[in-house]
A and B are shown apart, each in its own frame.
Chain A
């Protein structure tokens, strides 16, 4: 770095040239600007020259060298340049700012020659490769309609074709739609077809059936794209940089994403005609048949009747509201229950049922009035109105229910009747039936046992894992500890005082190491060890004992004298008691 600083006194000089300065039309060249005497990036703007296209992001390069013993620094900017037509291009000089100085890049000349035979062959090969790539994987949309009405739903098929030689490892992203104005239902499981012959190639196709709905008026553009993961072999030296077609076996190297995209698909969404629109039209578009039925023809007053409206055919079932009922004063109706039976993914073809529960309000032979259902037929481009057939329901009178004179009749017949002091309104519906009244007990509850089983399983798993993941360093220390214990016993047996003190000291230090695994115990003196034990909360009587034993051991080791008159047996039992407490 100091060397580079000392080179800063070199005079500033700027060079600019095309490399190579003569190319054919199908090739590219580079425009190189070299600033000698500075390593600071120049600031300025390259003038635009019609017929030449400069890459927006130049490559930069800094260098420092000694040429014939003279120090030199420079900064290089390299633009990729693509010619758009033949001819001679005189690139003008342009000024730039380098640090605090202003410099001028000299003009440069580029000769662009017409393409030669080999360039034409290469261009053709590139085009062929692009075409091959488009044929190797492509998406098709088959829609029976050329235009849609606003709110109309139609069924379409999206097919993804994959050439059998294309080494696809997986479909990373199933076809998705880009563009607004037309909505598409979700794609479910594809229908797979193998060994399809198209354009002299064998393909595997994946097809999805979707529902397309026009949501915005006007010509709507959208496209479909999918991403595949393809196994390729990189061809770094390939002049075409195509990883797919240079290797006859497509390689066995890395995986690469390959986007497969359709061209822009245009579809017109037309507004629904206003002419002839029925008053009760509520957005149903398609081709339908309409039918109604009742579950009972004879009921008692107050009993419900189920009226079912069935709309069958093809159309926008997902956007179809329930037809409005106008049953007159004799019936009362509630909101309907919906049920669709058909292609649930597209909601296009099938049967939509609306179940209304209606309650007759008077007795007698009542007639459920005709119900109307209007829709727009996109094929015929007209509005249609269907009428249901009428249904007769005999409602038996429940005069006892309301008429007080019936009570008198009951009295006359000798039945025991009393004026009913009403506690609360009698419930008309039975509610949920149970076989018996139970007090919930957790021991008979699945939830309780599932929690316990999960808890127990996790406990066993953790315990097992903990046992497997024992610290090897700690295990090694424990083994050493055991070995030292055996050695201590042997020393006592053989009355080897030197060995005993040595082993005892090592054992005490080993135990302390286990408590403080991050501390280098061997580097600490006895007093430091005792302080360390104090900080960990060991009681003073234990630390005193440890201190005494360590001093005894060190005196024997360094002074060679044994001041203790204690027998090895009593020392051993004393040491054992203390060592037990070092945990």
Chain B
């Protein structure tokens, strides 16, 4: 009986302590990576960070990793991780300026503020909850304050104001949702890691899903693209006989369109 209780207690303890133990291990690995970076071993630091990324992420980790890739002149990955860091911590101004530097160095345009910050994708809950509050508040007020007295002018003024406010909030919510959907489709073009002998290569955006196909355009590493979706809302892909998966992508302005291999890009939100 005692042994059984002991086992149960050990089980409970392991269950409760497991997250903190895990947290300690990734913290330790993070500190190792910071030390490696400080000692100048950027490759080791990057591989340690990438190892942590298999399980966990944090804004600081992505920022440090972006910094390291910038140091290794792998601007595509630097831009990717700086973008990810900004998604997790949008208020990091240092990270934002670093991203601007990386984009400038790679010859790309600075990331435009696509929308008013009021309609940023991370404000969906605020817009949605405000919509719900206003919807129920208005409905209950109509039921409570103007009980079916549809002849009164104040009823109509109130109802119109309520509908207009609802429309505004719904529009804001939809705009935020659309930004979120676009972000889910957004990818960053990556090239194989450059070395002193191999400068960063340009990636061809092919007309057809084939290695032999002519490129529509040559993409600079770090370029943002959007994956094309079919009517069912799934990415438009093509699988070659050798098993390579091709994605149909287009530029943010929609002018350039073509096929990319899976390994030539990474999604910002995976």
Q: What residues of chain A have their CB less than 8 Å away from a CB belonging to chain B?
A: 300, 303, 398, 400-401, 406-407, 410, 415-418, 420-443, 445, 447-448, 451-452, 454-456, 458-459, 462-463, 466, 536-537
Contacts and interface: CB of A to CB of B under 8 A. Distances in A.
B129 A442 contact: yes
Given A431-B58, A432-B59, A458-B136, 5 more contacts: A415-B43, A434-B57, A435-B57, A452-B132, A462-B143
A425 B60 CA distance: 11
Contacts of B122: 439-440
A299 to B, nearest CB: 10
Nearest to B32: A300
Contacts of B133: 451, 455
Given A427-B63, A439-B122, A536-B151, A448 B56 contact: no
Closest 9 CB pairs of A and B: A455-B136, A442-B128, A400-B39, A427-B60, A423-B98, A431-B60, A424-B94, A439-B180, A430-B30
A573 to B, nearest CB: 26
Interface in B94-115: 94-95, 97-98, 101-102
Contacts of B39: 400-401, 406-407, 410
Contacts of B124: 439-442
State the main secondary structure of chain A at its contact with B.
loop
Nearest to A424: B94
Which bracket fits the contact residues of B? 35 or more
A416 B136 CA distance: 62
A466 B60 contact: no
23 contacts: A303-B31, A400-B38, A400-B39, A406-B39, A423-B66, A423-B98, A423-B101, A431-B61, A431-B89, A434-B56, A434-B58, A437-B87, A439-B183, A441-B177, A447-B125, A448-B128, A448-B132, A452-B136, A454-B136, A455-B136, A459-B140, A466-B147, A536-B151
A451 B102 CA distance: 43
Interface string B112-123: 000000000110
B56 A415 contact: no
Nearest to B148: A466
B40 interface: yes
State the main secondary structure of chain B at its contact with A.
helix
A463 B63 CA distance: 54
Interface in B176-208: 177, 180, 183-184, 195
B35 A400 contact: yes
Interface stretch (B68-76, B220-228, B237-245, B250-258): B68-76
A421 B268 CA distance: 24
A232 to B, nearest CB: 45
A406 B40 contact: yes
Contacts of A401: 35, 38-39
Nearest to B45: A426
A431 B92 CA distance: 13
B262 interface: no
A417 B70 contact: no
A537 B156 CA distance: 15
Chain B CB count within 10 A is highest, among A447, A456, A537, for A447
A421 B70 contact: yes
Given A426-B37, A434-B57, A435-B57, A440 B136 contact: no
